[in-house]
Amino acid sequence: MTENAKRRAAWIETRQEMDAREDASRYLRARLILSDLREKLRFGKITWQQYSTLRGQALAGDVDGAVKGLGRVLLRNSKGEV
């Protein structure tokens, strides 16, 4: 195996490891937001429709958007707007 082929194989292996870590991180973040959403629904902080929308967003892969949306919903609900 040539030196370039070895470097390329090492780079590909490193990239696969990084992708696997990123996928695991995304999965854990989605799990955390889903448990937080269930808690907010259970204690009446958000409506069923809000829960359903934010859950779908998180499961579709837009965890950052779901977190941002939850923050907005909680802020509006705390001000008395629904």
| pLDDT (tens digit per residue) in 33-49 | 999 999 999 999 999 99
Closest CA to 73 of 39, 37, 42: 37
Cα within 13 Å of Cα(49), Cβ side: 2
Higher-confidence residue of 5 and 66: namely 66
The pTM of the full predicted model, rounded to 2 decimals, is: 0.71
Could you tell me the pLDDT band of residue 82, with boundaries at 50, 70 and 90?
low
Residue with tokens 């579709």: 60
| Buried-state track 50-76, b at ≥16 Cβ within 10 A, e below 16 | bbebbbebbeeeebeebbebbeebeee
What residues does each domain of the chain span?
3-78
Instruction: Give yes or no for a contact between 33 and 63, defined as CB atoms under 8 angstroms apart.
Output: yes
